Structure 1
């Protein structure tokens, strides 16, 4: 009998970053999912061994973003089709700049690879079976505030 219970999922993808009106350039997206934080996917974007950004993304929002536009705040997702190439467009808005604008970057991920990773997360914790310890949540809120 196999008593091993998978608690995490990880995938590294080559994605395309577009920021500040520049052309797309390839960067790595290190995606992580942990059953201890069942609603979130962590995305760490890096290039040449340097971390460019780290975001905690809502797993359900990522899933919905593969089929239609979602998000109105700092993260906005939508599917993009360029013929045979299906992508997930992820827009990230950062801190305000001194000129009143906001930092802004767009990341394009190959949609089938993202869908595959999200399927893996659903094997770890199926939708609707997410559990969060209220005591742990309160402790983290108190520690952060």
Structure 2
């Protein structure tokens, strides 16, 4: 069975002063890191940003608002379009504010990606080798 899921979506980046512009979002899921989804945003062959997202948070964001830290998500509907609004807060700017990016993804495409990840590792069946990780950390400290 394949332990990796990848999907490329065209999403809309809300650009200050110009409205929305299309960018690619490469979503990845690896059963070896079962709680995380990687999201790489790219445009014209350049990587704009890379984020690691909590898989359950991504699923919850399709149903209602989630997140209080650097990543926030919520469903948003505009007529027949059902989107997932993702807000990413970055580093502090010189004026004291924070860099901010807002991305809109087509919610059914995100749901289809999550469904594929659930075929690889069902929710509640995630396992992370904590004992092995702790042993590795402790042996390096000696």
User: What's the TM-score once normalised by structure 2's chain length?
Assistant: 0.92
Shift, 1:71, TM fit: 0.4
Does 2:48 correspond to 1:41? no
Compared with structure 1, are the counterparts of its residues 38 and 65 closer, same or farther at alpha carbon in structure 2 (3 Å cutoff)?
A: same
Structure 2: runs of 5 or more not aligned? none
Does 2:85 correspond to 1:89? yes
Describe how 1:1-145 pairs up with structure 2 within 5 A.
Answer: 5-138=1-134, 139=136
Separation in 2, partners of 1:96, 1:131: 35
Separation in 1, partners of 2:98, 2:19: 19
Structure 1: runs of 5 or more not aligned? none
Compared with structure 1, are the counterparts of its residues 68 and 135 closer, same or farther at alpha carbon in structure 2 (3 Å cutoff)?
A: same
Number of aligned residues: 139
Separation in 2, partners of 1:142, 1:57: 29
Separation in 2, partners of 1:122, 1:84: 26
Separation in 1, partners of 2:138, 2:126: 19
Q: 4+ residue runs of structure 1 moved beyond 2 angstroms?
A: 19-22, 135-143
Separation in 2, partners of 1:66, 1:7: 24
SS across alignment from 1:29: strand
Superposed CA RMSD in Å reads: 1.8
1:44·1:55 contact (CA, 8 Å) conserved in 2?
Answer: yes
